[in-house]
Amino acid sequence: MTQVKLERLCDAQPGERFRITKINIEGTMKRRLLDLGFVPGCEVTVLQKSPLGDPTAYRVSHTTIALRNEESSNIYGERIRDDKQS
């Protein structure tokens, strides 16, 4: 396995897909994120930013969830860069 440098979810751009490896948040918020499908190993798609730049909407297990920067900057993983997504 090649060691990939982990990126932050907040740095992924709209349209990109992202695979989560680690959630660096504690407590209730982490539990909430896990319940919503932000589970290590799962894939999320960045949909778009709110008009004022924050929060950002993500597609995760067929639902749309908006997260603020505070959260998405603590979710780590890798961007999936095959540009031919559906």
Partner 1 sequence: MDATVPPNPFDELLKEAQHLSGDDTREQIVSAIFQTSQAICKETVTYTKQEKLHETEKLDRIFTSKIWGFPIMLAMLAVVIYITIAGANVPSSLLAEFFGWLEGYITLAFEKMHAPEWLYGILVLGLYRGTTWVVSVMLPPMAIFFPIFALLENYGYLPRVAFNMDRLFKKSGAHGKQSLTMAMGFGCNAAAIMSTRIIESPRERMLAILTNNFVPCNGRWPTLILLASLFMAAGYTGGWKTLMTASVVVAMVVFGIVVTLTVSWVLSKTALRGVPTHYTLELPPYRRPKIWDTIVRSTLDKSVYVLKRAVTVAAPAGVLTWVLANIHIGDTTVLAYIAHLLDPFARQLGLDGYILMAFILGLPANEIVLPILLMGYLSTGALTEVDGLRSLKQIFIDHGWTWLTALNMMLFSLLHYPCGTTLINIYKETKSKKWTFVAFALPTGIAIAVTFTTAHIAQWLRFI
Partner 2 sequence: MTNNHEYTIALAGNPNTGKSTLFNVLTGLRQHTGNWPGKTVVHAEGFFTYKDEQYRIIDLPGTYSLYSNSADEEVARDFIIFAKPDVTLVVLDATALERNLNLALQVLEMTDRVIVCLNLMDEAKKKGIIIDIAKLSKKLGVPVVPISARNKEGIDELLETIARMVHGEIQTKPTKISYSRTIEEKIAKLLPLVKEVIGDEYPARWIALRLLDGDTSLLHALQSQPHHLLKGGAHYGCHCSAKSI
Exactly one of 12, 18, 44, 71 binds partner 1 (CB under 8 A); which one? Answer: 71
Nearest to partner 2 of 22, 31 (CB atom): 31
- Residue 67 binding: pick among partner 1, partner 2, none (C-beta 5-8 Å cut-off by kind): partner 1
Of 4 and 22, CB closest to partner 1: 22
Task: Indicate whether 82 belongs to the interface with partner 1 (CB under 8 A).
Answer: no
* Contact between 84 and partner 1 per CB under 8 A: no
List, as one string, the DSSP characters of the chain: ---PPPEEGGGSPTT-EEEEEEE---HHHHHHHHHHT--TT-EEEEEEE-TTS-SEEEEETTEEEEE-HHHHTTEEEEEE--S---
Q: Is 9 left (phi over 0), alpha (psi -120 to 50) or beta?
A: alpha
Q: Which stretch binds partner 2 (CB under 8 A): 6-14, 17-25, 26-34, 69-77?
A: 26-34
